[in-house]
């Protein structure tokens, strides 16, 4: 399979190169109108077909690597390093992205798949899609050059072929790691598509905002993949690393979060361009920056620029990425300067208290957060270059800066929907803002009453203060978003006689993009509540002999046994703990510690018992070498389940936003014209 895989990558490189050169030549001939013996349309079509064939070639290479893992072909160095005979089937499949070469192959395959879909839809707008397809081909050429010459995944092992491989990194032997990296890469790679459309539209001076409408679905789906990838990574860190947390501001975590921030800003600000003809240059640079940040994220993960628990491969290919990123940035700057007159805004901001200004402030806050995280992530590299030693930036720095920024962003999330376009009257402010403000202060008083206070034992506690602010703002934003649904639904209910639930459904179907976005905002609020709960985490560590007990919060953990087990892949030892809540026996948990036979590396398997209020999180840290007794560390983590529930709501909201809205004719049938007009007036004509 090594020869087949290598040949497939060479064919893919040849096809991508032809796609790039033939596509660029065809577009040049069309732009200049110069006569040619080859019809530009025919040349462009052969370039498109080469791109489609390239997908099949890269798919062949990916299949070859997966097949080699399942057949234990240890003649291939990559398979020897990342698989072994006893490795379960799902993890053999995950070996595709467990190392540098395989993850680059995954990047190239996903890009080819996106390009395949794009090229099949070329008749939507032939010229624009031709530009986008050619730009995608240029990115594909770069990754195929890496795979053929810098990081070939089918390199043969030198010397004798071993009877078994080194095995998969133990940190990756967890069910979520079968889907987390592909989901994250679907987000990373997917942002190449709106980047290609934006750059292509700017090169050809594409009229109007149609390119945004063409790429809206691409961008939202890509954003959803990246969002799910980030949260799956959080859950993996929570369930596998055994430290009781889910986000440590690790450089690779930051690398995935930064394009999410700029991508989120882009999704918001394109509405300004579509509706008001504003922020055109801003939007172009947002999508350019998002694509560059996805390349940076791939570089940090696979290029060895930073030390990270997530960076499973170290390699000098970071230089290749830096050169490519420099080329991309230079092209973006050149095209922007050449075509900047095409990006003049059609309107100006009329009022600071308007929905337009809320979008602008929202973007500024998101970009500020991105810059802070980028600075903290790259600071060790910069400090080493300047003074010869690395100065790391830890979680306290990010929390001190990013938490206030995040809370301000949450505030804007609630304010934006309450403001009409252009300008806001005092009457409108009073009508729209009273319910959220009331909810905010009720939440403050309730939190103070139950003991959520900024002062703990007579001293100021910033964690409790920020949690109090987060709870209060979350209540206000939730109320603001729900009030938007209620006001619109009441109008429809009065005009049609439908019940409130049906009216809300019709309201959402009439403008799925807006109300789907509101559902996403509700999900964000739920996530923020879950994150705020971390201010009240407690933990306790203790050696437990047989029938000894550990108390934490309302729980008492009693050790009723500790034993060992083994299989072909790993040996394990675990404790058996009976858990009582408020003195009443409830359930049993078995935290485990594994040692993988091939690599000899240990791995923690955490036991987690969840309910809506908190997680009981228990880690078996091994036996004390002096006493032989097991060491148990227990955490009580409030509201963690709200984070995963918030993600679920965000996914639902995104699907709603992606669903086609009712056409005006269908809406008129389902609800009278008067209801449609009244609801539109209530929303300020949005």
Q: What share of the chain is helix, strand, coil (3-state, %, to 5)?
A: 65, 10, 25
Which of 471-480, 574-583, 670-679 is the least confident region?
670-679
Q: How confident is the model at residue 661 (pLDDT cuts 50, 70, 90)?
A: confident
**pLDDT tens, residue by residue, 454-470:** 887 778 888 899 999 99
Query: Which tokens is 673 given?
Result: 């014209």
Phi and psi angles of residue 584, each rounded to the nearest 5 degrees, phi first: -110, 125
Query: Which tokens is 135 given?
Result: 């730009």
Measured at the CA of 327, the angle between CA 324 and CA 331, to 5 degrees, comes to 140
Query: Which tokens is 447 given?
Result: 């939190």
Taking the CB of residue 326, how many other CB atoms lie within 10 A of it? 11
Which residues are CB-neighbours of 313 under 8 A, at least 6 positions away? Answer: 99, 100, 103, 301, 302, 304
Q: How confident is the model at residue 77 (pLDDT cuts 50, 70, 90)?
A: very high
Half-sphere exposure for 580 (CA within 13 Å, toward CB): 11
Span 570-579, mean pLDDT? 91
Span 361-376, mean pLDDT? 92
What local confidence, expressed as pLDDT, does residue 410 receive? 92
Span 89-112, mean pLDDT? 92
Query: Which tokens is 335 given?
Result: 């095209």
Q: Give 219-276 as a DSSP string.
A: HHHHHHHHHHHHHHHHHHHHHHS-SS-S----HHHHHHHHHHHHHHHHHHHHHHHHHH
411 against 275, higher pLDDT: 411
Task: In whole angstroms, give the CA distance from residue 146 to residue 138.
Answer: 13
Looking at the predicted structure, is the pLDDT value of residue 673 above 70?
Answer: no
Q: How confident is the model at residue 234 (pLDDT cuts 50, 70, 90)?
A: very high
What local confidence, expressed as pLDDT, does residue 674 receive? 46
What local confidence, expressed as pLDDT, does residue 686 receive? 47
Q: Give the burial class of 421: count Cβ atoms within 10 A of its Cβ; 0-12 exposed, 13-18 middle, 19 or more buried.
A: middle
| DSSP H or E segment with residue 633 | strand 630-638
Which of 247-256, 389-398, 667-676 is the least confident region?
667-676
What local confidence, expressed as pLDDT, does residue 352 receive? 65
What local confidence, expressed as pLDDT, does residue 4 receive? 96
**pLDDT tens, residue by residue, 182-203:** 999 999 999 999 999 999 999 9
Looking at the predicted structure, is the pLDDT value of residue 658 above 60?
Answer: yes
Looking at the predicted structure, is the pLDDT value of residue 669 above 80?
Answer: no
Task: In whole angstroms, give the CA distance from residue 684 to residue 190.
Answer: 34
Looking at the predicted structure, is the pLDDT value of residue 586 above 70?
Answer: yes
Looking at the predicted structure, is the pLDDT value of residue 580 above 90?
Answer: yes
Looking at the predicted structure, is the pLDDT value of residue 591 above 50?
Answer: yes
Which of 167-176, 442-451, 610-619 is the least confident region?
167-176
Task: In whole angstroms, give the CA distance from residue 299 to residue 343.
Answer: 31
- Cβ pair 288, 269 in contact under 8 A: no
Task: Quickly tell me which residue has 């980030």 as its tokens.
Answer: 230
**pLDDT tens, residue by residue, 261-272:** 999 999 988 888
Looking at the predicted structure, is the pLDDT value of residue 335 above 50?
Answer: yes
**pLDDT tens, residue by residue, 676-686:** 444 454 444 44
| SS3 call for 133 | helix
**pLDDT tens, residue by residue, 245-257:** 999 898 889 999 9
**pLDDT tens, residue by residue, 8-32:** 999 999 999 999 999 999 999 888 8
What local confidence, expressed as pLDDT, does residue 72 receive? 94
Task: In whole angstroms, give the CA distance from residue 504 to residue 501.
Answer: 5
624 against 309, higher pLDDT: 624
Task: In whole angstroms, give the CA distance from residue 228 to residue 180.
Answer: 8
Q: Give 316-349 as a DSSP string.
A: TTHHHHHHHHHHHHHHHHHHHHHHGGGG--SS--
**pLDDT tens, residue by residue, 103-118:** 999 999 999 999 999 9
55 against 427, higher pLDDT: 55
What local confidence, expressed as pLDDT, does residue 531 receive? 96
What local confidence, expressed as pLDDT, does residue 309 receive? 52
Phi and psi angles of residue 422, each rounded to the nearest 5 degrees, phi first: 75, -70
What local confidence, expressed as pLDDT, does residue 503 receive? 92
What local confidence, expressed as pLDDT, does residue 678 receive? 47
Beta bridge partners of 595: 571, 602
Task: In whole angstroms, give the CA distance from residue 378 to residue 372.
Answer: 10
CA proximity to 410, closest of 524, 523, 520, 519: 524
What local confidence, expressed as pLDDT, does residue 124 receive? 77
Phi and psi angles of residue 604, each rounded to the nearest 5 degrees, phi first: -90, 135
Task: In whole angstroms, give the CA distance from residue 113 to residue 268.
Answer: 27
Query: Which tokens is 538 given?
Result: 């407690």
Q: What is the value of pTM for the model shown?
A: 0.92
């Amino acid at each position: 399979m090594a020869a087949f895989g290598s040949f497939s990558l060479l064919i893919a490189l040849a096809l991508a190169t032809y796609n790039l050169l033939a596509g660029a030549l065809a577009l040049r001939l069309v732009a200049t109108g110069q006569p040619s013996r080859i019809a530009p349309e025919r040349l462009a079509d052969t370039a498109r077909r080469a791109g489609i064939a390239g997908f099949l070639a890269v798919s062949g290479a990916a299949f070859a690597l997966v097949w080699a893992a399942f057949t234990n072909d240890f003649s291939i160095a990559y398979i020897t390093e990342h698989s072994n005979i006893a490795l379960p089937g799902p993890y053999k499949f995950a070996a595709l992205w467990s190392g540098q070469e395989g993850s680059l192959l995954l990047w190239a395959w996903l890009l080819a798949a996106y390009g395949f879909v794009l090229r099949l839809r070329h008749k939507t707008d032939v010229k624009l899609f031709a530009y986008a397809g050619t730009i995608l081909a240029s990115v594909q050429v770069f990754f195929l050059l890496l795979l053929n010459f810098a990081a070939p995944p089918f390199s043969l092992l030198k010397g004798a072929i071993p009877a078994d491989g080194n095995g998969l990194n133990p940190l990756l032997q967890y069910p979520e790691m079968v889907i987390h990296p592909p989901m994250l890469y679907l987000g990373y790679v997917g942002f190449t598509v709106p980047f290609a459309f934006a750059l292509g539209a700017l090169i050809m001076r594409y009229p109007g905002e149609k390119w945004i409408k063409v790429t809206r679905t691409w961008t939202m789906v890509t954003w959803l993949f990246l969002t799910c990838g980030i949260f799956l990574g959080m859950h993996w860190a929570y369930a596998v690393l055994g430290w009781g947390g889910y986000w440590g501001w690790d450089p690779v975590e930051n690398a995935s979060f930064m394009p999410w921030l700029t991508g989120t800003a882009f999704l918001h600000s394109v509405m300004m361009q579509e509706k008001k003809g504003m922020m055109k240059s801003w939007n172009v640079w947002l999508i350019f920056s998002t694509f560059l940040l996805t390349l940076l994220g791939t570089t940090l993960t696979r290029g060895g620029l930073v030390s990270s628990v997530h960076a499973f491969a170290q390699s000098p290919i970071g230089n290749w990425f830096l050169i490519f990123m420099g080329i991309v940035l230079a092209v973006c700057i050149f095209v922007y300067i050449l075509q900047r007159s095409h990006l003049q805004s059609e309107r100006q901001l009329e009022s600071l208290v308007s929905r337009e200004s809320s979008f602008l402030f929202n973007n500024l806050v998101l970009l500020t957060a991105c810059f802070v995280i980028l600075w903290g992530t790259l600071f060790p590299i910069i400090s080493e270059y300047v003074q010869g030693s690395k100065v790391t930036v830890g979680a306290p720095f990010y929390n001190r800066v990013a938490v206030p920024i995040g809370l301000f962003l949450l505030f804007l999330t609630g304010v934006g929907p309450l403001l009409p376009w252009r300008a806001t009257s005092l009457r409108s402010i009073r009508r729209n803002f009273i319910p959220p403000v009331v909810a905010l202060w009720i939440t403050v008083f309730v939190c103070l009453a139950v003991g959520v206070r900024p002062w703990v034992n007579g001293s100021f506690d910033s964690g409790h203060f920020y949690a109090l602010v987060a709870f209060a703002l979350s209540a206000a934003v939730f109320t603001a978003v729900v009030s938007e649904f209620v006001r619109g639904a009441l109008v429809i209910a009065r005009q049609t006689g439908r019940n409130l639930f049906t009216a809300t459904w019709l309201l959402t179907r009439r403008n799925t993009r807006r109300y789907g976005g509101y559902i996403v905002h509700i999900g964000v609020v739920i996530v923020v509540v879950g994150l705020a709960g971390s201010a009240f985490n407690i933990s306790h560590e203790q050696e437990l002999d047989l029938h000894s007990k550990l108390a934490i919060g309302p729980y008492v953990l009693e050790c009723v046994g500790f034993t060992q087990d083994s299989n072909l892949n790993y040996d394990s030892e675990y404790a058996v703990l009976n858990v009582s809540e408020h003195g009443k026996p409830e359930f049993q948990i078995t935290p485990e510690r594994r040692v993988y036979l091939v690599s000899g590396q240990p791995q923690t398997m955490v036991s987690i018992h969840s309910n809506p209020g908190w997680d009981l999180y228990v880690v078996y840290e091994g036996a004390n070498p002096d006493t032989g007794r097991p060491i148990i560390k227990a955490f009580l983590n409030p509201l963690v389940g709200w984070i995963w529930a918030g993600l679920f709501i965000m996914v639902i909201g995104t699907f709603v936003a992606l669903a086609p809205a009712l056409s005006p004719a269908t809406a008129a049938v389902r609800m009278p014209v008067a209801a449609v007009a009244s609801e539109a007036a209530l929303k300020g004509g949005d």
